[in-house]
Amino acid sequence: MSQKAMMLITSDWNNHKTFRMIPLSNDSVYIEGIYDVEAKTLALMSKQVAESYRMIPRLSVEGEIIPSKVKRTNGKNFKEERVVITSSIEYYITEAAEIEEIVKHMAVNESTFDFKKYMTSDASELVMKK
């Protein structure tokens, strides 16, 4: 079994209080983990990368989005271009029992940090106050 290489911290995501997992060393295979309280999902960003095609807005030489002359069939009113983007591989875990197992396996402070309160609370209870 691998050594625990992540730590749980309190954070925010989409205007809600939540928990994140941050790496403690280069031994971690993940660069970040974040729990989305609205979707009840743990997202893990891996150190592994992959290339994929994406459509992104086309920019002028000044860095402004180039508008299209007519509304496009996809509903967008700007020009796009297809590019290859290299990004971290992401994993999305939605089953509560599996999220708990992953956190217990990876986080050094899983026994002292109450991450389950974010999993069992109603998202409206975790909205950040301004």
Mean pLDDT of 122-127: 77
Residue 129: inside a domain: no
How many CA atoms lie within 13 Å of 114's alpha carbon, on the beta-carbon side? 5
pLDDT at 54: 92
pLDDT at 75: 87
- Cα separations (Å) of 75 from 56, 71, 72, 108? 14, 6, 5, 47
How many structural domains does the chain have? 1
Residue 130: inside a domain: no
Query: Is residue 105 pLDDT above 70, yes or no?
Result: yes
H or E element in which residue 119 lies: helix 116-120
Residue 1: inside a domain: no
Residue-wise pLDDT for 8-27, tens only, equals 999 999 899 999 999 999 88
pLDDT at 130: 65
Strands 41-57 and 16-23: unpaired
Residue 110: inside a domain: yes
Q: Is the pTM of this model over 0.85?
A: no
Residue 39: inside a domain: yes
What tokens appear for 62 in the block? 């000044």
Residue-wise pLDDT for 63-78, tens only, equals 999 999 888 888 899 9
Residue 128: inside a domain: no
The answer to whether the beta carbons of residues 36 and 18 sit under 8 Å apart is yes
Would you say the C-alpha torsion 81, 84, 90, 95 has a positive or negative sign?
Answer: positive
Residue 42: inside a domain: yes
- Domain extent for 57: 6-123
pLDDT at 103: 97
Residue 106: inside a domain: yes
